């Protein structure tokens, strides 16, 4: 559940919570696959993956656009 919450918070706050959500999501999915954790958290872990990767993608796009605008200012 923490991965989904942090992934969503990363979309609103900054890059770091989304990245933490991504790391936690992968750890949770590995734990579920090994059988250490109940499968009930699988949907939250997947949500953390989707939101975390969305956050990373948006951060890259914003960084590239910012760099491009910075280079092309007159």
Task: Quote the tokens at residue 49.
Answer: 């993956």
DSSP string, 26-62: HHHHHHHHHTSS-GGGHHHHHHHHHHHHHHHHHHHHH
Confidence (pTM): 0.70
- In tens, the pLDDT along 17-65 reads 778 888 989 999 999 999 888 888 899 899 989 988 988 888 888 888 8
pLDDT above 80 for 10: no
The pLDDT value recorded for residue 17 is: 78
Report CA 13 to chain centroid distance, whole Å: 12
- How many other CB atoms are there within 10 angstroms of residue 66's CB atom? 10
The pLDDT value recorded for residue 29 is: 93
State how far the Cα of 63 lies from the Cα of 6, in Å rounded to an integer: 21
């Amino acid at each position: 559940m923490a991965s989904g919450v942090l992934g969503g918070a990363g979309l609103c706050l900054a890059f770091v919570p989304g990245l933490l959500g991504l790391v936690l999501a992968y750890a949770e999915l590995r734990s579920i696959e090994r059988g250490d954790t109940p499968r009930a958290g699988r949907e939250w872990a997947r949500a953390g993956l989707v939101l975390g990767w969305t956050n990373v993608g948006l951060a890259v796009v914003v960084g590239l656009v910012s760099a491009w605008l910075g280079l092309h200012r007159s």
